[in-house]
């Protein structure tokens, strides 16, 4: 009876899990057939499947410019988040006091505060600094909002770090900088890379902050899509969405592989 109950509960759990996954994923999959539509408006293919909108995406100067801008900004912001977030996580981990916990919590504020509220405050602050509609302003904004992802992931990696490795390095005469560079960082490298991936995805997909602090000079890909929705319903947007979904999925798969590698190394 117990085995039957366990089997039934297991089947119900799997059905429930796949139902939730389907609810989350299926609405996204409609983007792919729409991207291959043969019409000039958003619709499913009528007569045949067409690649004309993908061709427009990769030949249009406006779309390519936005893709290039988003990529440069995302890479720079991810590097900024990576350095600041990793140093913050390691510093809080080494200190290990109530104050360090307070600092770690403070670094998570960009996640807690609604994005539109943060963007509004940033807009007023960026006016005084002369950073509106500049690459520097967008990179700094995305870098700051990407720090929480790095702090969370790197802190999780540090929780599984063997302190005896650090103690052994210090006993052998290594300085703090050498211990950090040769022992701590290599041991938590998969976690650092994962944090960088999430910071990159966050910057690549971010829209609200860009709408507030950018105008004509900085035109990222999400903003290009937003303007396209407001002005017309060009199916090229569906092609862009399909490419973004594939890119994000690829990065998440890479992150999963890094996590599996980290677990294997921990054993």
Q: Is residue 3 part of a domain?
A: no
| pLDDT confidence tier of residue 210, bands split at 50, 70 and 90 | very high
Number of domains into which the chain is organized: 1
Q: Which of 38, 60, 58 is nearest to 48 (CA)?
A: 38
Q: Is residue 46 part of a domain?
A: no
Residues 6 or more apart whose CB falls under 8 angstroms from that of 217 comprise: 133, 134, 135
Q: Do 202 and 1 contact (CB within 8 A), yes or no?
A: no
Q: Do 85 and 175 contact (CB within 8 A), yes or no?
A: no
Q: Is residue 8 part of a domain?
A: no
What Cα–Cα distance (Å) separates residue 179 from each residue in 42, 92, 153, 187, 194?
56, 16, 21, 11, 22
> Which of 45-49, 64-68, 249-253 has the largest mean confidence?
64-68
**The two three-digit tokens of residue 44, written as one number:** 């499913």
| pLDDT confidence tier of residue 10, bands split at 50, 70 and 90 | confident
Q: Is residue 13 part of a domain?
A: no
- Which residue did the predictor score with more confidence, 160 or 152? 152
Exposed / middle / buried, residue 72 (Cβ in 10 Å: 0-12, 13-18, 19+): middle
Q: Encode 104-118: b = buried (16+ Cβ within 10 Å), e = exposed.
A: beebeebeeeebeeb
Model pLDDT, residue 69: 94
Mean residue pLDDT across the chain: 85
Model pLDDT, residue 126: 93
Model pLDDT, residue 4: 46
Which range marks the domain in which residue 258 is found?
A: 51-266
Q: Is residue 5 part of a domain?
A: no
Dist. CA 124–CA 118, nearest whole Å = 10
Q: Is residue 33 part of a domain?
A: no
**The two three-digit tokens of residue 16, written as one number:** 């429930």
Q: Is residue 17 part of a domain?
A: no
Q: Do 42 and 238 contact (CB within 8 A), yes or no?
A: yes
Taking only the tens place, the pLDDT of each residue in 107-120 is 888 888 888 998 99
pTM: 0.81
Mean pLDDT of 242-256: 83
CATH code of the domain covering residue 249:
1.10.3720.10
Q: Is residue 35 part of a domain?
A: no
């Amino acid at each position: 009876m117990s085995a039957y109950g366990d089997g039934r509960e297991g089947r119900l759990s799997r059905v429930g899990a796949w139902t939730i996954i389907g609810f989350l994923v299926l609405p996204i999959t409609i983007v792919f057939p729409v991207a291959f539509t043969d019409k000039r408006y958003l619709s499913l293919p009528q007569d045949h499947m067409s690649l004309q909108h993908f061709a427009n995406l990769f030949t249009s100067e406006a779309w390519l410019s936005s893709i290039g801008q988003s990529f440069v900004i995302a890479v720079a912001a991810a590097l900024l988040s990576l350095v600041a977030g990793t140093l913050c996580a390691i510093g809080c981990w080494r200190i290990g006091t109530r104050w360090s916990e307070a600092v770690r919590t403070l670094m998570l504020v960009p996640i807690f505060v609604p994005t539109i509220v943060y963007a509004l405050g940033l807009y007023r602050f960026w006016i005084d600094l002369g950073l509106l509609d500049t690459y520097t302003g967008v990179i700094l904004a995305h870098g700051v909002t990407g720090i929480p992802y790095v702090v969370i992931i790197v802190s999780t990696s540090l929780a599984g770090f063997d302190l005896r490795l650090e103690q052994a390095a210090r006993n052998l005469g290594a300085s703090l900088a050498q211990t950090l560079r040769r022992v701590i960082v290599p041991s938590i490298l998969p976690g650092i890379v994962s944090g960088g991936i999430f910071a990159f995805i966050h910057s690549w997909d971010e829209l609200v902050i860009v709408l507030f602090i950018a105008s004509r000079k900085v035109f990222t890909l999400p903003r290009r899509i937003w303007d396209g929705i407001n002005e017309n319903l060009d199916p090229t947007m569906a092609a862009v969405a399909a490419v973004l979904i594939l890119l994000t999925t690829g990065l998440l798969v890479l992150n999963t592989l890094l996590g599996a590698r980290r677990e294997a190394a921990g054993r």
